[in-house]
Amino acid sequence: MNSAVRIEGVTVVLGGAFTALKDISVEISPGKVVGFIGPSGAGKTTLMRAIVGRQRITEGAISIFDLPAGSPQLRPQLSYMTQEVSVYSDLTVRENIAYFATVFGVPKRQVKSQVASILQTVHLTDHAESMVQELSGGQKQRVSLAIALIGSPKLMVLDEPTVGLDPVLREELWMLFRTLAKQGTTLLISSHVMDEAERCDELLLIRDGALLAHGSPVDLQKQTKTTTVEQAFLTLVGGRKS
């Protein structure tokens, strides 16, 4: 296997009217943390939805682990955390994780232990029996992330996973992401916080549905003759030299 995700000339026209992605081509190697960076409305979420197979592609092709995106065989190998908190607010934290674990196909005997270990990973053990609707924004966000961890998928697609989290927790999650990547997991993470971009192995800079740049944070800084990712981003977006 050469690449985890291969995107070839992908164009997505939403509802037959709005061109959300224009002719995007990129290849992502396994075990990398890849940041999807760009202003809101740039097409980051649409690209993620296309990768997980939830969004139909108008033109081009996406393959994940050499299978076309959306193939049933891929479903047990990937996880998708949407931007909104996509969990059941009228269930407890434990009930949520246990349900999704069953749906994911975790064997019955392992559901309990897996729920317990995931709760620990996202620091929600003390809130396991709380209703999701009673949690704070950051805690809800972690329940949603917990579900993406079920079954240790090889590809994790996380749409703004650290929004609303305090700096300490965000630091811990980035350590978790790094650990997962070291174990071979490919993580695609969208963000518009630039200090997070610096922590990624590779960055995709997206604006108006087009891929502006792809490379490591250092590459992008060199390319734009800047010293921070934020400056590099502004240079590329504005098309101006600073």
Q: Closer to other proteins at the Cβ: 44 or 214?
A: 44
Examine residue 64 and tell whether it contacts other proteins (CB under 8 A).
no
CA–CA distances in Å: residue 112 to residues 75, 98, 146, 149, 203: 22, 7, 14, 14, 37
Judged by CB under 8 A, the stretch of 30-38, 49-57, 162-170, 212-220 that binds other proteins is 49-57
Q: Which of 6, 22, 54, 123 binds other proteins (CB under 8 A)?
A: 54
How far, in Å, CA of 139 to CA of 232, rounded? 33
Q: Closer to other proteins at the Cβ: 16 or 167?
A: 16
Q: Which of 59, 66, 84, 195 binds other proteins (CB under 8 A)?
A: 84
State the pairing for strand pair 210-215/202-207: antiparallel
Examine residue 91 and tell whether it contacts other proteins (CB under 8 A).
yes
How far, in Å, CA of 138 to CA of 141, rounded? 5
Within residues 122-181, the interface with other proteins by CB under 8 A covers: 131, 147
Examine residue 75 and tell whether it contacts other proteins (CB under 8 A).
yes
**Residue (of 94, 129, 133, 90) closest to 112 by Cα position:** 94
- Minimum gap (Å) between residue 229 Cβ and other proteins: 29
For residue 234, which amino acid is it?
Answer: L
Q: Which of 95, 198, 201, 208 binds other proteins (CB under 8 A)?
A: 95
Q: Residue 120 in contact with residue 146, Cβ under 8 Å?
A: no
- Minimum gap (Å) between residue 124 Cβ and other proteins: 18
Residue 64 CB coordination number (10 Å) = 26
Examine residue 26 and tell whether it contacts other proteins (CB under 8 A).
no
**Residue (of 104, 23, 8, 124) closest to 64 by Cα position:** 8
Summarize as ranges the residues that interact with other proteins (CB under 8 A): 14-16, 49, 52-56, 70, 72, 75-76, 78-92, 95, 99-100, 102-105, 108, 131, 147
